[in-house]
Amino acid sequence: MLKTLTEQFPPLSRHEALVEANRCLYCYDAPCTHACPTHIDIPRFIKKIPTANLLGSAQTILASNLLGATCARVCPVQELCEGACVLGAEHKPIAIGRLQRYAMDHVYNNGIDVFQPGPPTGKRVAVIGAGPAGLSCAGELARLGHDVTVFEKRELPGGLSTYGIIVLREPVDVALAEAAMIARLGVKIESGVEVPRDLSAEDLRARFDAVFLSVGLGATPALGIPGEEFILDGLDYISQSKMNRPELKPHPAVLIIGAGNTAIDCATIAKRLGSGRVTMLYRRTENEMTAYPHEYAFVKNEGVDFEFLTLPVRVLTDNGAVAGLECVRTRLIPHPEPIPGSNFVLPAQQIIKAIGQQKPSVGAALGLATERGFIQVDANLRTSQPAIFAGGDCIRARGAASTVMAVQDGKIAARAIDKSLAEKVAA
Amino acid sequence: MADLRINFAGIQSPNPFWLASAPPSNTGAQVHRAFEAGWGGAVWKTIGPPVLNVSNRYGAWHSGSNRMLAINNVELISDRPLAINLREIRDVKRAWPDRAVIASAMVESTPAAWQTIVRQIEDTGADGIELNYGCPHGMSERGMGSAVGQVPEYCEQITSWAKAAAKIPVIVKLTPNITNIVLPAQAALRGGADALSLINTVNSIISLDLDTLELIPSIGGKGGHGGYAGPAVKPIALNMLAALGTDPSVSGSGKPISGMGGISTWQDAAEFLLLGATSLQVCTAAMHYGFRIVEDLCDGLKNWMDSKGFATLADVRGKSLHRVSDFQNLDLSYRAVARIDPALCIKCNLCYVACNDTAHQCIDLVDKTGARVQPCTWDPAGNGREEAVSTRPQPRVRDEDCVGCRLCYNVCPVEGCIRMVEEPSGRESVTWQTLVNTEPAITNDWEAMKRYREAHGIDIH
């Protein structure tokens, strides 16, 4: 199998896990736990590994984060738990992500369900979108005994974990196994259902006591340049790689427009497919890149080239096939401005854009208040309509969107929904 | 360069490091190799009556990723024929005239049996005989080993039988499986012992297998107590060595002591020397890493002696014995407090939880401004490396409440981060022994103690 289609890190062996877990100092009120957006009690789960209490270890993780198997693989640990490890200053921080995966693999490989559905409350909750925020919220609500249905517009559940995280980090099976675990908590997952196309706001209100919106973001915005129809969408490109689609092929020269984490993923796939020269284009400099520093370092190590201060102008084609990209240099004042007359051509047979995603449209369609295009929520993730809550990328007006933040949103919203449903009963 | 040569009851050795009587000294080939590596001597694995051994005879205690902090064994004395052992002892001694070759022996408790083995050993040209009164397993069930060592009268009697036949020095090896180590030591000296060695192994069961519920190691489904040795027993050995060194009759006898029990490094060795040992025996460390460890044992010890200005081992021997004290003679006015170096502190906050939960509640957590903060009070809406690290509180000792218990010092994972610093207590030195004489009431009356504390400014919070 191609390198791009297998997980980068092998599981830790029992011996590796023991040595690593034994290095953990078991800090009190540990900074790794503080740094984790879901606040997993990390020293606690790590200390259970050497004593072979892997069930207890997994329980500790899942109690704070139902998608612990995904987060173990995709979390930017350098920015979170491992970045805060007290051993990091002078030594190597504990490999928390990989130890978490070790504990998670134990329950998933052995078919162990750590949690059971709660006693039924008779309350019905709809979750729109089966990505990390949606599955987290659904699972937490099911543990509390609520009757949860998740509506997912795509074929498979898991959202970006299934379709948008490169296999190098997370194979599809891991995301699907997590969704299956959530389903075994009694959550119904209906795929191929899009809100409001297939399910109107009125339907939702009529059939459910509360709604959680976890719809993520929209399509990649247009660059607005001639020949744009020849440019591939970065998320589609990653999705093809995850589904192992036959149209995925190497090319002598591939251009990636954008310099965020998704762009880096696209470049990594192109390179590992065996493409010749893979170049990332960014209209600003490396100082403004939104990609994590460790991702940038990773992709440079993969042999990817960079063209900074570069703006695409038009796609060049030859007999209906991509032949190159005409670009222009920019300068920062402080926004990037094209420098007249600096045009040049980068030859390429494939061009991929990963320049962020459009704001979610569902919020407006359901008549919810928005903030800078994102769905507006309060601290409990309640929208402008009392029975509708939202979380994940669709509310991320500020800060970096990430899987673990989405999982935490699902957890917070589940608690708020549970409380609001209890209040309704009391009233 | 410091001189490591020793004269142990007349036995010469180029350095104090001897292989202890154990598996490493089981054969001539092994002892040859050990001498090539630089060992000063070897006490041959105990020879005696016929035995049969079992498999899975060594268990071990591991802690975290640190392997074999202790080993336990149910291996018996040498299972090789006596004649072969005697021949190999002879060959080794001939090949290595400058090294100390000592034969350890254990036989049936009759004068004839002991005198026979003593003569057989002397015929090999060995430099000395070590009477094994120590092994706690197997042989003790046959009336040998610790069955002898645990009864002072037997120690004395058997030593006298051996001495009656011996022309070479007789060393008596003591078992630690006894309440007061001084009693068998005195008995051995009464029996005429030329020297003592200690400690033999400690009774122990290593662990259990939680799948099979069998003992570890399992010998066909069963197990039992075995002799415990290695780094973990060192403190027990040091205490027993000090007990002999501070006993007037033992130390007054002038008989040398061969110290052993967990010696792994030259630092361990130096500690045994400071508490009165003349020669040092090593087993577990060699079983863990091989004979090559003797190089650093000698090199490190020499360098330390040079740095301290000790020219010979006689200069080191027993140098710390006068500091061994009963509690009643300790200075009750001595005060030390813990100091945490904020520049070295990595904020694991293990000192805080240890002090707060289990000691004397005198470490605070403080924020960047020095203001006291409670643990686990960060905002759950926050996250990320930046926030977790920048808001992480730091431990700080409240000097006035610190009793100087030293727990934080012991749990701190960073070398040199917590120091115990002497602070003037403002009180005159006084010992409990003195108070028993000057203030007898305080020893059994809490009201009197209260008045004494108030008068002397001793505040127990």
pLDDT in tens, B217-257: 999 999 988 999 999 999 999 999 999 999 999 999 999 99
Q: Quick: pLDDT tens for A341-372.
A: 999 999 999 999 999 898 888 888 899 999 99
Total structural domains within chain B:
2
Residue B441 sits at the chain A interface (C-beta within 8 Å): no
Residues B230 and B333 in one domain: no
Question: In angstroms, how far is the first alpha carbon of chain A from the final one?
Answer: 59
Mark B26-41 as b/e (b = at least 16 C-beta within 10 Å): bbbebbbebbeebbbb
The distance of B239 to chain A (nearest Cα, Å) reads 31
For residue B198, give the H/E element and its range: strand B195-198
Record: contact B392-A50, CB cut-off 8 A:
no
Q: Give the number of beta-carbon pairs within 8 Å between A and B.
A: 69
Structural domain boundaries enclosing B48: 6-323
Instruction: Answer with the one of B323, B346, B364 that is the final residue of a domain.
Output: B323
- In this predicted structure, the answer to whether residue B146 has a pLDDT above a threshold of 90 is no
Residues of B in contact with A35 (CB under 8 A): 383-385, 387-389
Q: Of the residues B298, B323, B348, which one is the last residue of a structural domain?
A: B323
Domain for residue B278, yes or no?
A: yes
Burial of A155 (0-12, 13-18, 19+ CB in 10 A): exposed
What mean pLDDT do residues B369-380 have? 95
Picking from B263, B296, B323, the residue at the C-terminal end of a domain is B323
Q: Considering the domain boundaries, does residue B230 fall inside one? A: yes
Calpha distance B121→B90 (Å, rounded): 9
Closest CA to A135 of A71, A72, A197: A71
How close A95 gets to chain B, by Cα (Å)?
15
Q: Greatest CA separation found in chain A?
A: 70
pLDDT digits (tens, 9 = 90+) for B49-80: 999 999 999 999 999 889 999 999 999 999 99
CATH top class, domain A8-109: mainly alpha
Q: Are residues B333 and B311 part of one domain?
A: no
What ipTM did this prediction achieve?
0.91
Residue B183 domain-assigned (yes or no):
yes
A399-403, B177-181, B289-293, B334-338 — which is least confidently predicted?
A: A399-403
The answer to whether the Cβ–Cβ distance between A86 and B346 falls below 8 Å is: yes
The strand pair at A321-332 and B11-13 is best described as: unpaired
Res A68: pLDDT: 98
Is residue B447 assigned to a domain? no
Domain ranges of chain A: 8-109, 124-218+358-426, 228-353
Nearest CB neighbour to A29, from listed B349, B383, B385 = B349
pTM listed for this prediction: 0.92
> Coil, helix or strand for A213?
strand
- How does pLDDT run across B407-445, given as a tens digit for each residue? 999 999 999 999 999 999 999 999 999 999 999 999 999
Q: Is residue B384 part of a domain?
A: yes
Q: Over 80: is that where the pLDDT of A231 sits?
A: yes
Q: B332 and B314, same structural domain? A: no
Whether residues A28 and B350 touch (CB distance < 8 A) is answered with: yes
Spell out which residues of chain A touch residue B350, defining contact as CB-CB under 8 Å: 25-28
pLDDT-derived band at A427, boundaries 50, 70, 90:
low
> In this structure, is residue B442 part of a structural domain?
no
- Give the pLDDT score at A202: 92
Fold of A228-353: FAD/NAD(P)-binding domain (3.50.50)
- Looking at the domain assignment, is residue B457 inside a domain? no
Q: Does domain A124-218+358-426 have CATH number 3.50.50.60?
A: yes
* A19: closest chain B residue by CA: B65
Please determine whether the domains at A8-109 and A228-353 fall in the same fold group of CATH. Answer: no
Q: Which CATH number does the domain housing residue B383 bear?
A: 3.30.70.20
Q: For the segment B284-316, what is each residue's pLDDT rounded down to a tens digit?
A: 999 999 999 999 999 999 999 999 999 999 999
Compute the average pLDDT of residues B320-329: 97
B149 and B268 within one domain: yes
Q: Which two tokens stand for residue A254?
A: 């591939």
Largest interatomic CA distance in chain B: 84
- Chain B residues touching residue A27 (CB < 8 angstroms): 347-350
**Residue B354: closest CA among chain A residues belongs to which residue?**
A28
Residue by residue, DSSP assigns A134-170 as HHHHHHHHHHTT-EEEEEESSSSSSTHHHHTS-TTT-
pLDDT score recorded for residue B351? 98
Per-residue pLDDT averaged across A49-71, rounded? Answer: 97
Instruction: For residues B350 and B297, state if they share a domain.
Output: no
Going B172 to B178 to B182 to B183, the CA torsion angle's sign is negative
Q: Nearest CB to B348: which of A27, A379, A408?
A: A27
B140 vs A128, higher pLDDT: A128
Q: Chain B partners of A28 at a C-beta cutoff of 8 Å?
A: 348-350, 352-353, 375
Please tell me which residue of chain A has the smallest CA distance to B343: A89
Q: What is the mean pLDDT of residues A314-335?
A: 95
> Before B136, cis peptide (omega within 30)?
no
**Per the CB < 8 Å rule, is A379 touching B350?**
no
What's the confidence (pLDDT) of residue A1?
A: 43
Between A26, A80, A86, which is nearest B383 by CB? A80
- Tell me, yes or no, whether B316 and B382 share the same domain: no
Give the C-alpha distances (Å, rounded to integers) separating A334 from A280, A285, A337: 21, 11, 9
Q: What is the pLDDT of residue A5?
A: 66
In this structure, are B139 and B193 located in the same domain? yes
In a domain, B331, yes or no: yes
Task: Mark whether B159 and B213 lie in a shared domain.
Answer: yes
Catalytic site residue B376? no
Q: Six-digit token pair at A257?
A: 């427009």
Contact in structure between B8 and B99 (CB atoms under 8 Å): no
Using alpha carbons, select from B373, B367, B362 the residue that is nearest to residue B400: B362
Q: At what angle do helices A172-184 and A132-143 cross, to 10 degrees?
A: 30
Q: Are residues B403 and B286 part of one domain?
A: no
Residue B4 has pLDDT above 90, yes or no: yes
Q: Which B residues, 333 through 352, put their C-beta within 8 Å of a C-beta on chain A? A: 346-350, 352
Any idea what the CATH number is for the domain that residue B216 is in?
3.20.20.70
Q: Looking at chain A, which residue has its C-alpha nearest residue B374?
A: A29
